[in-house]
Amino acid sequence: MIKLAIDLGTSVTKIYRVGVGIVLSEATCIAVTKETGEIRAFGDEAKRMLGKTAEPSEVVFPLVEGEIQNEELAGRLLSCLLKKVVSRSFFGIEALFCIPCGCTKEEREKYLRVARIAGISRVNFAESPYLVALGQDVPLSDVNPVFAVDVGAGKTSIAAFSLDGMIAGLTMNVGGNMMDIRIIDYVAETFGLKIGALTAEKLKNTVGSLLTNDYQSQIVNGRDTASGRPASLSISSADVLFPIRIYVDKIIEYAELVLKKLPAEVSATVCKSGVYFAGGVCNLAGFAEYVSDRLQMEAHIGQDAQAEVILGGGRVAGSAALLRKIAR
């Protein structure tokens, strides 16, 4: 049987094949013809079509805020993505799905239905905070609590746990997508320039920063809200600081809530060892410094923040012992 870990993210799907490594990272996006349901494009190619298609087509992200909203399209998309990385195997596919912390029974059933559409024969689940830690090679044990946060596009999972189980955790609907929407509103209100979702995301990812002394800027193209004509403008890190920081502050607020729920001994241990972060949004300039200062503990971010969860997932998928301990 082919063993995979699959992180069906709100924005990006990552796939790890045991024995090989990360084999795919593409937008969780599919473009279909509305009337016939025929697939026009999927993955990164479909995302590039966003906002540019004519009436008969639609570009869909089947997950919204970390939850599967359109099972049928999620399944068909996953099927297309799997075909890119594994040739049909007689022995079938066993997949470990990386899921948000506290994922309900109903949400897990949605994953099972999506997996069935995609032709996956056996499914396991692991909650993302465990995978953040494993992706950064943090040694896990029954007695050593770890505090980890996954900040994705649609949601943020925060948890303290040991190999013995979850101690406290939550998932909130805050992530990079909310920052993008806030940037769109902010640029329209402040500069009278209407920009698209892809432009806002690119702006966040290139000049977005939590450092108050960051002076990068980028030219963006959009539509002048007064005249309706195409227009461009230079937007700086300082311009997008506020729409980004309000959501990072929300994440910190909820991380503090989780910390407050911890028994004293656990709290003391995690404050000493620090917090492990992963997810694409942690690539923001100054992220580690900002959260570490606010939470008053060291913030560890791996080399490739966006890949840590799937790397952790790959480790679990390839280890019978970890599957027994972590997969539920």
Binders of ligand ATP among residues 273 to 302 (CB under 6 A) are 279-281, 283-284
Measured from the CB atom, the residue of 152 and 312 that comes closer to Mg ion is 152
Among 10, 199, 267, 269, binds ligand ATP (CB under 6 A): 10
Among 9, 62, 75, 135, binds Mg ion (CB under 5 A): 9
In order of 26, 63, 177, the CA distances from 12 in angstroms are: 5, 10, 12
Measured from the CB atom, the residue of 162 and 306 that comes closer to ligand ATP is 306
75 binds Mg ion (CB under 5 A): no
Q: What is the DSSP string of 24-63?
A: EEEES-EEEETTT--EEEETHHHHHTTTT--TTEEEE-SE
Among 66, 75, 145, 243, binds ligand ATP (CB under 6 A): 66
Token reading at 268 = 């003391």
Confirm if 244 and 210 have CB atoms less than 8 A apart. Answer: yes
Measured from the CB atom, the residue of 9 and 62 that comes closer to Mg ion is 9
Q: Which x/- pattern, by CB under 6 A, does the window 12-41 give for ligand ATP?
A: x-----------------------------
Sequence-separated (6 or more) residues with CB below 8 Å from residue 145: 160, 161, 162, 167, 262, 266, 269, 270
The pair phi, psi for residue 240, each rounded to 5°, is: -105, 5
Residue 126 C-beta: closest distance to ligand ATP, Å: 13
* DSSP type of residue 138: P
Confirm if 101 and 132 have CB atoms less than 8 A apart. Answer: no
Token reading at 262 = 């911890």
Residue 185 C-beta: closest distance to ligand ATP, Å: 16
Binders of ligand ATP among residues 147 to 166 (CB under 6 A) are 152-155
Measured from the CB atom, the residue of 9 and 169 that comes closer to Mg ion is 9
Taking the C-alpha atoms of residue 22 and residue 158, their distance in angstroms, rounded to an integer, is 24
199 binds ligand ATP (CB under 6 A): no
Q: Which stretch binds Mg ion (CB under 5 A): 2-10, 108-116, 163-171, 182-190?
A: 2-10
Measured from the CB atom, the residue of 32 and 133 that comes closer to Mg ion is 133
Measured from the CB atom, the residue of 12 and 73 that comes closer to ligand ATP is 12
Strands (E) in 116-256, as ranges, are 122-127, 146-151, 156-162, 165-172, 193-194, 217-224, 230-236
Binders of Mg ion among residues 257 to 296 (CB under 5 A) are none
Identity of residue 85:
V
177 binds ligand ATP (CB under 6 A): yes
Residue 155 C-beta: closest distance to Mg ion, Å: 8
The residue among 167, 157, 152 whose CA lies nearest residue 129 is 157
Measured from the CB atom, the residue of 266 and 308 that comes closer to ligand ATP is 308
Binders of Mg ion among residues 142 to 201 (CB under 5 A) are 152
Segment (H or E) for 115: helix 105-117
Residue 287 C-beta: closest distance to ligand ATP, Å: 8
306 binds ligand ATP (CB under 6 A): yes
Residue 182 C-beta: closest distance to ligand ATP, Å: 12
Taking the C-alpha atoms of residue 274 and residue 263, their distance in angstroms, rounded to an integer, is 16
Identity of residue 214:
D
Which residues lie near Mg ion (CB under 5 A)? 9, 152
Which residues lie near ligand ATP (CB under 6 A)? 7, 9-12, 66, 152-155, 175-177, 201, 204-205, 208, 279-281, 283-284, 306
